[in-house]
Amino acid sequence: MPDALGHALEAATTGHGWDDPSPQLHRDEKSAEIMKQVIDSYGTNTELRGQHKPLMDSLGRMGAAYIDDLNYSTYNFGDSGDALGRDKLFGASSDGSSRTDFGEGASLRFMNAVAGDEQGYKTLSAAQQVFEAGGLKVLEGDKDSQLTFLHNSTKLHGILDESRIDAISLEFKDQEEAKNLEMEKQAEWRKSAVSGGVAAVVGVGSAVVLGPAAGLVAATAVPIIMETVGSAVSTDYASDTLQYLKDNEYKNDDDADSAVVDARQQGRRAVVVPALNVAEMQGLTQSERQELIREIEYSYNTGAKSVDDLTANK
């Protein structure tokens, strides 16, 4: 029952079958409203999530399909998003859809719930990497918007990473060796996601499609920001965007026989890479780069702390 429900919800929210090998996004007001109901339901009801745990892979793909709206909803501290021009920042989606505000708190709860699951985390994290790369590439000529986009994306990575780390800690709280193994697996995936599998994508009209090579169960459609609303995502465009990720991927220089990879440190290093690339693109001075990294640290930790605050109240 849960699997069938998940597949039905995927179709209703994304406009394509869950097992479509070349999914295209078809989102409208109705599908966005269904997604909002899903986010409200599965973000707040732990009993429902427990009963429907097999849905987590579907929820991850649905979150990936709305990764632009999750970013849009998160960029709203104290309801400041509209005043700060978030519609312009996130508006030019590859499928031509309008942005939906799911609510900052509801989006946080949904991401925390889904990213606590291993497959859900991989799907959302990979989608966020791709969405970030596309946005930074398109906004290259607008330094202020590019930095704002970078900080918000970093905050989301903090939310996703901390959600998975917290879930591992809770699941294996009395099994130190098993916990360390899970942490190491997450850190290794986070490190290699771009170089190993996220780059194996194609552009299919309305989205970039991540394949199973990225460690995902099924093909996953991810909307990205375009220079103009509704521009078709060609395979060449997708390849260019992912080449950006490939060229600037995180390189691990630690000793290979390190006992346990620090999952938090891997997450932090992974968000520093695009920040340093932006610094290079914008020609920042050394002191400006130092300030940018201080700000990136704050943005990432803000995301992580929001998860800690949320789980502390559960």
75 part of a folded domain: yes
Spans in the chain with pLDDT lower than 50: 194-204, 230, 250-261
Which of these, 208, 291, 286, 280, lies nearest to 247 by C-alpha position? 280
Which of these, 28, 112, 35, 30, lies nearest to 66 by C-alpha position? 35
* Distance of alpha carbon 24 from alpha carbon 125, whole angstroms: 20
pLDDT at site 27:
92
Residues 6+ apart with CB under 8 A from 114: 42, 56, 59, 60, 63, 120, 121, 124
288 part of a folded domain: yes
Beta-carbon count within 10 A of 260 CB: 12
Angle at 142 between CA 137 and CA 146, to 5 degrees: 55
306 part of a folded domain: yes
* Distance of alpha carbon 186 from alpha carbon 193, whole angstroms: 10
pTM summary value? 0.85
What is the span of the domain harbouring residue 192? 2-19+28-88+99-312
234 part of a folded domain: yes
The residue count of the chain comes to: 314
176 part of a folded domain: yes
93 part of a folded domain: no
Whether 164 contacts 111, CB under 8 Å: no
Domain count, the chain: 1
Report which secondary-structure segment, H or E, holds 209. Answer: strand 207-210
145 part of a folded domain: yes
